[in-house]
Every structure is written in structure tokens, then in C-alpha cells.
Amino acid sequence: MAPGLVDASRVSTDLPPRKKFKLSSPPDVQADDSLDAETAAATVPPHPQGVRPAGNAYTATENIKANCGSFARLPDELLNHIFESFDAETLRRLGGTCRALYAFTRLDELWRALFVSTPPEDFEWRGTWRATYLGIPQEHVASIPCRNLFSDVLYRPFQCAHVSLSPFTSNIPLQNELDRLPNLSYEEYAEKWTNKPFILTEPVKEWPVNGKWTPEYLLHEYPDVKFRAEAVDWPMVKYMSYMSNNADESPLYLFDRAFVEKTDIAVGRDAANAAYWPPDCFGEDLFEVLGDQRPDCRWMIMGPKRSGSTFHKDPNATNAWNAVLTGAKYWLMFPSSSTLPPPPGVILSDDHSEITSPLSIAEYLLTFHALARETPGCREGICHAGEILHVPSGWFHLVLNLEDGLALTQNFVPRKKLADVLGFLRDQRDQVSGFKDDVCDQAYELFVDRLREKHPRSLEEALAELEKKNKGGRGKWEELTKGNNEADSGRFSFGFGGNDDEDAEIP
């Protein structure tokens, strides 16, 4: 038989039966806390098609990619990029031409993109995006060995999906550990803790939903209710099927902003039959003055083990809290300012509006975690079920689910950070998010008007703080030389006195 052609006699269909709704992911391979990152990477099981990292090609006597015809000349990254433009039928037909293209066209991220762009009307989750999109029962999915194929594009996602992450989330250095406190008073929070990350162990335990809301409970109560999971809206029963049976490098993460309405619960300490309420120590959320014109502020978060979010900052310069109801979350956090570099492996655009980092949490941990842990300012911690973590405004944070889990989160504006939020809304209008379209462009003006009605003193203090920060950013020489003639000079200046200053952008 010619090299690279498919031998049907070697097709393997011996796959494990489909999993049921058992919310405990398979254990990581040798999930030993004492493993270092290099050892953890070496414990990854063999690729199901026998693909190996690209470096192995240098000592191999055969590379079956040579059988791909004209495709063999293309770098793997370009080949994968081309395949992203193909439809399902083209991928299927191309995958039948040789073993190497079979492996390339089976990359599940290609099928995930197809599913998201053209989701089937009705579907049953079948363990992989390809099997689900094509409607193939899991017991009928074949796996053809593709030995002597060497590709990081194919191997790296598999490695990241199966490497043990325990070495990265354990043995946290003492100087990096997040502070853990039972609770705080409002005065303590406002005086000392507004700009610091920390974990509170008591407030969530007062909530009626604590101990009641679990993924199983939501499945029982809301099986057909659709919740938002990244780019798709799935009924809870389908997401739970996915959650209990997937091997994605970056598992689909349920992140729903309308969960209060969908589950018909009440929120707030003073609400009748309230399900939960923000901890009292955080005080009033000043965005509440906007009523139904406020930006999105609360979400229900659910995901399988290994899901989470790569490095990001919370929107609109807000603070946030994240309360874990079930499971546990590992947090890796860094402060940010105009004088501090971003976390290792993270690239910021000039205006700080875009954050570029590795595509998956596992890839970041494999590549940059050791350096991140040694970087000044690094903070780490594990937030367990029944605990709540505070995220200060502007802090970079990466979050990893150590178990299947459910959490609630909310963004808010504490009085101490009002100046920062006003400055962001006014001077970084292109980065303002979460508001309705008819509000977004005038969010600053609307917020100022409502604050003037309900909290005039807080507004006055915040605007004075903004003006002080603005003057402090000019530099001594500029401050001295401009004097009082700036208004008549016709030259550009930053200002917070109420004018639009559309060209003024302070990163």
C-alpha cells in the first residue's frame, strides 16, 4: 500500500462508553503536587492518533506529512489557518485522502468553530465538537493511528488539555499568598482594603443559595432554560452533558448575565426571599444610581475542571467580587499602573485596550508560570466553596477551576474608587462596555448627572481627585511654564471640568 493511505484494517473503534452526568472530571495524570512543570508535561498520555511534537521529526526516518501533496509545503500553522475556512463536507472529504490530513482535519477546534458559526437546530452532545456537529454516536467514532506525524499545532492542544495542572496551583510561596479574613466592616474595607485582593470566608455562608445551588440543582430546576456559555446559548441539560464529558483545551465556560431573571430569584439583603446579597463591607455600589441604565454587573459562572479565564481586567475600572458556591478556583493576580509592566507573557496595546496572552490557561501555566510566580507583585490563592474573593480595580487576573464548579460574581463601584471610574468613562470612551447602545457614548455624562442628584458630595470629591491626578501627570516643568495662560494658549490640555475633550485619552 502506498505510504500515507488509510488502511481500514487498522481503524480503532474501541472507545469507552459515553459518560453520564457525573460532575467529577477524570483526575489529572499523576496529579502529584510535588511534580515540577517539566515533569508534569512529561506525564501526558500518548496522543490518540500517535502525533508527536515537531522536534521529533529531526530524528525520524519518515514524516507522513510528505504525503499531503501540495499541502506538505505549507507550515502547520498556515495549513490549520486555511482549514479554518473550510466547511464540514470539505474537511470530511479532505480527511479521507491520507493519514496526515486525516489528523489535521480532526483537530476539534476546527469543528468547535464550525459549530459556533452555524449551530445545529437541535443536537446531542457526543463528547467532541466534531462528533456533535456531524451527529455521530460516540461508539461509532473511529480513530485511525497516524504515527510518524510530528506537529506542535496538533500536539500542543492535546498536551495542554491533559497535562497535570496541580504543580502550578500548589506550594504557593508565602509572600504571594492572598490574605484570608473572616469578614470586614465597611470602615475597614474603605480605609485599608479597597485596593487589595483578599478572600473572605464568612459572608457567603449567610446566603440562602449557599449549599442549595449546585450544578445538579440547576439541572433539576432549570433543565430547559437557556444560559449563555461564551458564544452559544444552551439549555442547562445540554451544557451539563458537555460539562461532564469533554476534553477541550479551553472548556466552554457558562457566563450568564441574565441568570437572576431566568431563575426568578431576588437579590439584595432587603429584598423579600432574597437568594443572596453583596457583602456589607463593600458598601453601596454607586452604579446603582443609574437604575436600569447601569452596565451589566452580575453573572452566574459555571464550568468543568480546567475551565476558567486567561488574564484580563474587569470592565470600566470597577472592583469585583467572586463567590464560589461549589468547587474551588485558583487565582493568579497582578497589580497594574502606568509604571508597572504587565504580567509575564502578557502584551498590552499602547492604549491598554487589548490584552494578548497565550490562548489557554494551561499553555500560560506551562510557559510562564514559573516566571510569573517570581515577579514582584504576584498574588496567588485558592478560593474554596463558601468563600468570596475581592478583585481590586485594574488588577490583572487569571482564574482556573480546580474542580467542576459554580460561582456568582458582581462588579461594583465603591466610593473610594469613584474617581477612577469617572476618569475611565470620560477619557477611555472607546473601551467603555456593558451599557446599552443608547447609553454607552454618554455614560460619563449620565453618571455625573445622577451622582449630582443623589451623591453631590461624593461627586465633588471624586472630581477634585481627578483634577489633582491630572495635574500630577503633567510634570514639574510643564506645570511651571504654563502658569495661568493655558486657557488662552490654544494648545491641547487634559481636563475634567465637564468639556468633552474627545481627543484626550489617558491610558
493 pLDDT band, cuts 50/70/90, is: very low
Per-residue DSSP letters for 436-459? Answer: -HHHHTTHHHHHHHHHHHH-HHHH
Cell numbers for 101: 490530513
**Phi, psi for 227 (deg, rounded to 5):** -120, 150
pLDDT score of 38: 66
**pLDDT beyond 80 at 50:** yes
**pLDDT beyond 80 at 26:** no
Cell numbers for 380: 496567588
**pLDDT beyond 60 at 418:** yes
Q: Check: CB of residue 281 under 8 Å from CB of residue 389.
A: no
pLDDT tens digits along 257-301: 999 999 999 999 999 999 999 999 999 999 999 999 999 999 999
Average pLDDT of the segment spanning 184-196? 97
pLDDT score of 473: 53
pLDDT tens digits along 317-367: 999 999 999 999 999 999 998 888 999 999 988 877 788 888 899 999 999
Cell numbers for 197: 485582593
Q: How many angstroms from the chain centroid is the CA of residue 126? A: 25
**pLDDT beyond 50 at 55:** yes
Which pTM was predicted? 0.85
Distance CA(149)–CA(158), nearest Å, equals 14
pLDDT score of 120: 84
Cell numbers for 124: 446531542
464 pLDDT band, cuts 50/70/90, is: very high
Amino acid symbol at 413 = V
Higher pLDDT, 25 or 141: 141
**pLDDT beyond 70 at 504:** no
Higher pLDDT, 493 or 397: 397
pLDDT score of 72: 96
pLDDT score of 36: 65
Q: Angle 94-96-98 (CA atoms, 0-180°, nearest 5)? A: 90
Q: Which of 17-31, 202-216, 422-436 has the lowest mean pLDDT?
A: 17-31
Cell numbers for 69: 501533496
Q: What is the DSSP letter of 360?
A: S
Distance CA(489)–CA(141), nearest Å, equals 74
Q: Check: CB of residue 323 under 8 Å from CB of residue 409.
A: yes
Distance CA(31)–CA(22), nearest Å, equals 20
Residue 412, classed as helix, strand or coil, is strand
pLDDT score of 353: 75
Contacts of 61 (CB under 8 A, 6+ apart): none
Contacts of 55 (CB under 8 A, 6+ apart): 150
Percent above pLDDT 70 for the chain: 85
Where residue 65 falls (left for φ over 0; alpha for ψ -120 to 50; beta otherwise) is alpha
DSSP element (H, E) containing 409: strand 405-412
**pLDDT beyond 60 at 89:** yes
Cell numbers for 137: 454516536
Average pLDDT of the segment spanning 79-98? 97
Q: Check: CB of residue 276 under 8 Å from CB of residue 207.
A: yes
* CA-to-CA separations, 120 to 112, 116, 129, 132, 244, in angstroms, rounded: 12, 9, 12, 9, 21
168 pLDDT band, cuts 50/70/90, is: very high
For the chain, the first-to-last Cα distance in angstroms comes to: 62
Quote the mean pLDDT of the chain: 87
Higher pLDDT, 501 or 166: 166
